[in-house]
């Protein structure tokens, strides 16, 4: 086997590099790079709100009614605030796409 003829590796594509073209077919366009949202605390606070709601319901059945209202109410408020904040952040980050 000569130097010009190399054994194909299992990781190599069977397509030769000469077959690739830099031009796109008509009607096609290059995809925009996907932009990930900024990291934030809203998903954590949303999960914490759900945990408080469920904790209040679970503990509340064995205790006084006020425990259900306090812990679940706190969880519900935290859930609503976190959901609104997270949606607001995502909406603000993608505002330029909607214009």
pLDDT in tens, 16-53: 555 555 677 788 888 777 777 778 899 999 999 999 99
Confidence class of residue 15 from pLDDT cuts 50, 70 and 90?
low
Identify whether 13 is part of a domain. no
Identify whether 25 is part of a domain. no
pLDDT at residue 81, as a whole number: 97
CB-CB contact of 53 with 82 (8 Å): no
Q: Which domain holds residue 58?
A: 42-99
CB-CB contact of 51 with 35 (8 Å): no
CA dihedral angle for residue 65, residue 68, residue 84, residue 90, rounded to 10 degrees: -170
CB-CB contact of 10 with 40 (8 Å): no
Helices (H), the chain: 42-60, 65-93
The larger pLDDT score, comparing residue 81 to residue 14, is at: 81
DSSP 8-state class, residue 49: H
Identify whether 82 is part of a domain. yes
Identify whether 32 is part of a domain. no
Identify whether 80 is part of a domain. yes
Q: What is the pTM of this model?
A: 0.60
The larger pLDDT score, comparing residue 89 to residue 35, is at: 89
Who's near 25: CB < 8 A, 6+ residues apart?
A: none
Identify whether 33 is part of a domain. no
Identify whether 90 is part of a domain. yes
Counting the structural domains of the chain, the total is: 1
Of the chain, the percentage scoring pLDDT greater than 70 comes to 70
Identify whether 67 is part of a domain. yes
């Amino acid at each position: 086997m000569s130097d010009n003829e190399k054994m194909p590796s299992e990781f190599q594509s069977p397509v030769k590099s000469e077959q690739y073209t830099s031009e796109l077919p008509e009607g096609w366009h290059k995809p925009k790079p996907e932009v990930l949202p900024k990291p934030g605390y809203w998903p954590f606070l949303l999960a914490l709100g759900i945990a408080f709601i469920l904790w209040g319901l679970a503990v509340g059945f064995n205790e006084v009614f006020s425990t259900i209202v306090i812990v679940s109410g706190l969880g519900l408020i935290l859930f609503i605030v976190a959901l609104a904040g997270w949606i607001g952040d995502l909406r603000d980050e993608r505002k330029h796409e909607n214009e």
